[in-house]
A and B are shown apart, each in its own frame.
Chain A
Amino acid sequence: MPRTWLMMEQSPDGGRAPYVARFESIGRRLPTTRLTTEELMASTRHRTRIDLERLTGIHERRVSAGAEDSLSLAAGAATDCLRRSRYGPDDLQVLASCSITKYRDGLTQWLEPPMSLAVAQQIGATNATAFDISNACAGMLTGVFVVANRIRRGEIDCGMVVSGEYISQLGQNAAKHVRHVLSDELASLTLGDAGAAVILERAPQGGPGIAVAGFTTVSEHSRLCLAYPARHDQGARMFTKSRSIHRVAIADTPVLLHEALDAAGLAITDIDHVIPHQTSARAIRKGMKDLCEALGGAPKNPAVVTVDHYGNTASTTHFVALVEELMAGHLHPGDQVALVALASGLEIGVVLFTVDDGLVSLYGHDA
C-alpha cells in the first residue's frame, strides 16, 4: 500500500526501478500573432466593464491567426525539441501526445486515429509506440510520469512527451457570452496557444534527473471546470468556477508538495525555482504566499510567471516556462526545480528535478 496520498515515484528506487529519468531536451512552438488583453476585451459582445489585465496580470497571449492548430503546434514543438537533442526521431521509443485539444485542419477535433500518431508521422518517429493521454492541464506532466516510469524500469531509453494546444478559440467564444466578472467563462479569456515537447532519457549512472514525481486526483472537485464542444459555435466552450478551484488548490497543494519534498529529502527552502501551472499572475503570487506560510519557508526565487505574456497555455505551460527560463539563463546546473501541476479534475501533481549541465548547455549558456 502506498504510504503517501500522492501516487509517487522516487528515483532511483531499488531493483524494480533502478534508473533515473532526465529531461534531455525541451522545445516549444508559439504562434507569432499577439493578442493583448485590451484587444480581447474590446471584442466582447457585451459591455463587461471587466479590467481583466488587472485581475489576472495577463497583458497578452499568443494566438493562432488560422494557420496553426493543435497538430502544427505539437509537431513544431517536437521539431524544436529534436533540433536541440542528440536524438533523432528514429531513436524515440515512445511518443505520448497529451493535449486537451486535438484540432487538425483548423477546428476539426480528431478523436481517431490519436493525435500522437499524426505527430509521430510528421516528425518521422517511425519506431515510437504512440498513444494519447488526456488529463486537462496536467496532461504533459502526466505524460512525463508515464514515460519516466518506463525509463526508470529500464524498459526504454528515451521517449517524447508532446502537446499542442489551440485554445484561443475558447476565448473568442467566451467573448460572445461573458457579461460580468462572475461569469463562469471568464477563465477562457486567459487562454493562449502554444506547443511544447520534451525528450526524456535515462540519466547517466549517479547523474541527476527527476528525483520525485507524484500525482493525485481530488475528484470531489471534479466538476469545477468543464469544457465541451460548443453547440452553435466552432471550437469549444469552458465553464470554470475559478474561485473554488483556487480555494481548493491553496488548501490541498501544501500537504502534497510537502509529501514530495519529504520523499526527496528536501525542504521548500532548498528549491531554487517553482514553476506552477500558469493561470493568472495574481493567483500564482497569492498561492505562493499561502504555500510558503503553510510550509514555513520560501523557495530561493519567486515563482516563475510566464502567464503575463503567454496566457494560460493549458497542458504546455510548464515546458513553455522551462524553455523561457533556460533561454534567459535563469536555470543553472544543480538548481532544484519544482513543477507543480494544477488542473481540472482536480489534478494536483509535483515533479521535482535537478537541472544538469547538459540541459543548460542546449540553450546557449555555459554549464
Chain B
Amino acid sequence: MATTLDPPAVATLRWQVRPSARKMADKASRAAIERAGLQVGEIDLLLNTGLYHDRNLGEPALAALIQEDVGINPEDPHAGVHGTFSFDIANGGCGVLTALQVADGFLQSGTIDHALVVASDADPGHGMAPGFPFSAKGAAVVCHWEDGPSGLVGFQWEIVPEDGDLFRSRFGFERGRNRLRVEQDPDFGCRAAAWAGRTATSLLADHAIRPADVDLVVATPLTPAFLEGLSTHLGIGSERVVAVEGAEHVHTAALIVALAAAEEQGRLNEAHRVLLISAGAGIVVGAAVLVR
C-alpha cells in the first residue's frame, strides 16, 4: 500500500508574449485531472509549488486561485459533498518532492483520496524580473492511495547550508522599484549532484536496493552538469537517468516534466524501481523511491 502517481501533464502557453504562470498551472492541472480519469471535484488537496508567478503575488496562496480557475469545489460549503483545501509549498527546486511527501502523509492517514501537485514558473512581468532565467512551463500530477505494492516507499532529505550561497533568489528595491535578482553559481550543478548522490545512496541502502537494481532515475535540475554529476556519484549509467531536451531551464516544474518525458518515452512503464531526486537552493537535496 502506497501513494501512487497518475500520469503527469505538462503545459506551455506557446503563443503568448508573456505566459502567465497561473494560466499554465491551470492548464496543467486540468490535463492532469483528466489523465487521472477524475472529475475536478474529486480533488481533496491542491498543493502548488511554483515560485515565480504573475506580479509575484504574495497573498493569497496561488493554489487558491488555481482551485477557483479549474473549478475544484470553489463554492461555499454545503451539505452532502466535500470541499478542497489548497495551499502553497515553497522549497525551491525541491518543492514538488516536498509536496509529494506532504500529499503522501495525508493519503497514508486516509484523510484524503486524491491530491493534485502543481508547479509553474514564468516571468512575473511588470518589469519586475529583467533577465528572468527560467523557462515558462507548468506541470501537474495527481496522486492517490493504492492497496497494491507499487508507489512511493520512502523519502530522504539533506540540507547543506555551507553551499547556501550557490543559488539565491531575492526581490529587492533597486533603482526606484522592486526587482527580482536570481544568482546561480556555475558550480551549483556539480555541488548539488555530489550531495544528491550521497543522499540517494543512503536512501537506497535504507531500502536494501543496490544502485544496479534502479531502473530509472528521474532527477532535477535538468541541467547536464547536475545529471552527469549525479550519474557518476550514484554509479548509475547515464542511460538510466532521464534527460529532457530543451528543459534545462525549467525550474520548479522540472520533476513532473521529467516524469512526463519518461512516461512518453515508455521508460516509466517499463521501470520497476524509480529513483526520484531533486536538488535546490539551500542546498537542499531530497530523494524518494517509487516502486512500480
Q: Is the interface of A mostly helix, strand, loop or mixed?
A: mixed
Q: Is A20 an interface residue (CB 8 A)?
A: no
Determine whether B84 belongs to the interface, using a CB cutoff of 8 Å to chain A. yes
Residues of B within 8 A of A1 (CB): 82, 113
CB atoms of B59 and A344 under 8 A apart: yes
Q: Is the CB of B90 within 8 A of A217?
A: no
Interface size (B, Cβ < 8 Å)? 71
Stretch from B4-12, B103-111, B204-212 at the A interface: B103-111
Contacts of B170 in A (CB 8 A): 108-111
Interface bits B128-144 vs A (CB < 8 Å: 1, else 0)? 10000000000000000
Q: Smallest CB–CB gap between A79 and chain B, Å?
A: 18
Are the C-beta atoms of B45 and A229 separated by less than 8 Å?
Answer: no
Instruction: Mark A1-43 against chain B: 1 for CB-CB distance below 8 A, else 0.
Output: 1111111110001001100000000000000000000000000
A299 adjacent to chain B (CB < 8 Å) = no
B75 and A345 within 8 A (CB):
no
Q: How close is B42's CB to chain A, nearest CB, in angstroms?
A: 8
Q: Give Cα distance in the complex from A53 to B280, angstroms.
A: 46
A219 and B67 contact, CB distance less than 8 A: yes
Chain A residues with Cβ under 8 A from B87's Cβ? 133-135, 138, 142, 217, 345, 347
Tell me the interface secondary structure of chain B in the complex: mixed
A101 to B56, CA, bound (A): 12
CB distance from B11 to the nearest CB of A (A): 20
- Chain A residues with CB under 8 Å of B168's CB are 110, 112-113
Contact of A136 with B169 in the complex, beta carbons under 8 Å: no
Does any Cβ of A come within 8 Å of B282's Cβ?
yes
Partner-B contacts on A (CB < 8 A): 1-9, 13, 16-17, 100-101, 107-114, 117, 120-121, 129-136, 138, 142, 146, 149-150, 152-153, 155, 215-220, 222-223, 225-232, 234, 236, 238, 248, 251-252, 255-256, 343-347
Per CB-CB distance, the 7 closest pairs between chain A and chain B, nearest first, are A112-B281, A219-B68, A135-B87, A344-B60, A227-B59, A132-B90, A345-B64
Binding site for A on B (CB under 8 A): 44-46, 51-52, 55-61, 63-65, 67-68, 72-78, 81-92, 94-95, 98, 102, 105-106, 108-113, 126, 128, 157, 159, 161, 164, 167-173, 176-178, 180, 182, 280-284
